A and B are shown apart, each in its own frame.
Chain A
């Protein structure tokens, strides 16, 4: 069960949800705000999950101060320090992936593994919708999910902040900064994602040849909600074993 707490960091009072014990996993949410997906619930069985709410999202005050994702990355690093983490695993979802990447570039020694979930840090196609994405865009099986309604006011505030922080679809300076990143990085894409198409995965892999690209079959943008067991298995294995996760430990014997 996730419990709510607040911590002072980088001049903000930051709300976060945490659960579990074990290797710490700091999660940076997407443009829709803080949500605990089923995959994060499953991961909290083996890891200590910290899901923070970025300043300016949810019920927090309007954030006019943070200028770009680089600054937001410094705020997230301050959050991790404030909850007592010197070294942690970092999860960045969609819009949050760029922040997670920048935090990793700024503090490579703090990040044990980086998990990019449907990252929107590099965008090659125009967004199919303006405003909040529809359930059909988020989920492969929208009928299986309900999204907690976000008030129009909160939605507008979040969208304005995302718009201001996101930067250009192809950000040359940013892409140059992540080139050859050495921190073990796992990049997840859903095969049915229309917001961040899975073909984008190859760009991350080209920029970061040491990263591993993983397709989550039959998942749309919200891969961690669509295929939670599949996401939890591969992320958990990667956090535990880094690149050794390539070698299966699955038992093939049927009968002794």
Chain B
């Protein structure tokens, strides 16, 4: 089992809640700078204590994750992370220029000497407002962009692209990836359509904002589709993201999370703006499994319920190892991506350190 650490550059000051886009009238630059420093400090620690990957993600217009371009943050990480891989999970490709994404990732792979994991995402529904892209086009744009990005990385001669959504007369990127033929590609596979596309294109998959039980159904569907396409994915080709807080005492861990706000019902960026979410749903964004997909994004429950659903690892190293074994048994994932959702200062640093020193050595062989 490999473990990734996802430090999501949360703004460390007061900000409006329950809205998206989030107004910036309380924004303080010095707080934001401190927040970035804190993220880099946690990432550096994660690298030192043995995490296999360090993760960055793309979100816009919100203090929850001040990383509108994960590749910029990954550029900083190449200078901080000495050992681990840097996982881009990832650029929201349908709202971006795919050639630019291919160039940036190739650049990062070159600077990091081949340590980049290339997650290519559709993004959460709200991100379609960010750059004014019609969410009805999301899936087709995504599928075309992934194939264009892969060709940018692998085609040695200048080529043009006459697509449905992207048109280029001549492309020949420099630098090109260090990893050959290209960095490992992952995508979200929460929907059946995504599972089919990943299987057809031999891509790895990842799950976030879900439960381990729901993810297991989607992962089984993906594996069946892979079989139909004549290949078998490795365990490392399934990533599962969840929260983590590691402590000396089980009850203390739960109390810490409740105190930090993790016990309150909370929703993701999309569901904070009902009108937006509803319009995105009407566009066909969610695909043929719409009801399940929308239900999945509804509020999270209290901490004990979230442990049961595989949404958070919490407690002592021993407890957490048992929780990981259970998730592995249900889902068969080879990579856990651990999110530091609630920031708790010194407690968070201790949690990362304890996980690295006491949990990682015990689960490597899983």
Task: Identify the A interface with B (CB < 8 A).
Answer: 191, 201-202, 205-206, 212-218, 227, 230-231, 233-234, 245-248
Contact = CB atoms under 8 A, between A and B. Distances in A.
A202 B154 CA distance: 11
A205 B162 contact: no
A234 B163 contact: no
B159 to A, nearest CB: 5
B217 to A, nearest CB: 29
Contact of B159 (A215, A227, A246, A248): A215
Interface string B199-232: 0000000000000000000000000000000000
A201 B161 contact: no
A213 B155 CA distance: 11
A217 B162 CA distance: 6
B250 interface: no
Given A202-B155, A215-B151, A215-B161, 5 more contacts: A205-B157, A205-B159, A213-B159, A215-B162, A218-B144
Contact of A214 (B156, B159, B166): B159
Interface string B152-170: 0001111111111011011
Interface in B132-179: 144, 147-148, 151, 155-164, 166-167, 169-170
A86 to B, nearest CB: 30
15 contacts: A191-B151, A202-B156, A205-B157, A212-B158, A212-B160, A212-B169, A212-B170, A214-B169, A215-B160, A217-B144, A217-B163, A217-B164, A227-B162, A233-B162, A247-B169
A88 B224 CA distance: 53
Given A212-B170, A246-B170, A248-B169, A234 B162 contact: yes
B67 to A, nearest CB: 28
Count class of interface residues, chain B: 10 to 19
Contacts of B144: 217-218
Contact of A217 (B147, B155, B157): B147
A206 B157 CA distance: 7
Contacts of A205: 157-159
Interface string B95-128: 0000000000000000000000000000000000
Contact of A246 (B156, B161, B164, B169): B169
B133 to A, nearest CB: 14
B64 to A, nearest CB: 31
Contacts of A202: 155-157
Contacts of A227: 162
A80 to B, nearest CB: 27
B349 to A, nearest CB: 47
A215 to B, nearest CB: 5
B182 to A, nearest CB: 15
Nearest to B147: A191
* Most B CB within 10 A of own CB, among A206, A213, A227: A213
Contact of A245 (B148, B159, B169): B169
Contacts of B160: 212-215, 234
Nearest to B140: A218
A217 B159 contact: no
Contacts of A216: 162
A8 to B, nearest CB: 38
Interface in B40-74: none
B36 to A, nearest CB: 34
- Which 6 A-B pairs give the minimum distances between C-beta atoms? A205-B157, A217-B163, A214-B160, A202-B157, A230-B162, A246-B169
Contacts of A217: 144, 147-148, 161-164, 166
A215 B159 CA distance: 7
A246 B158 CA distance: 12
B310 to A, nearest CB: 37
B157 A213 contact: yes
A234 B151 CA distance: 19
Contacts of A218: 144, 163-164
Interface in B264-294: none
A216 B159 CA distance: 10
A127 B156 CA distance: 24
B162 A201 contact: no
Nearest to B171: A215
A230 B147 CA distance: 17
A231 B170 contact: no
Given A218-B164, A246-B170, A201 B147 contact: no
A230 B163 CA distance: 7
A247 B169 CA distance: 8
A38 B245 CA distance: 61
Given A217-B144, A218-B164, A201 B159 contact: yes
A98 B159 CA distance: 21
| Residue among A201, A217, A231, A247 with most chain B CB within 10 A | A217
A75 B144 CA distance: 41
Contact of B162 (A206, A231, A246, A248): A231
A247 B161 CA distance: 14
A245 B168 CA distance: 11
A216 B169 CA distance: 11
Contacts of A213: 157-160
Contacts of B157: 201-202, 205-206, 213
Contacts of A247: 169
Most buried by A among B147, B155, B160: B160
Nearest to A237: B169
B155, B156, B157 pick with most chain A CB within 10 angstroms: B157
Which of B162, B163, B164, B167 gathers the greatest number of chain A CB atoms within 10 Å?
A: B162
Contacts of A246: 169-170
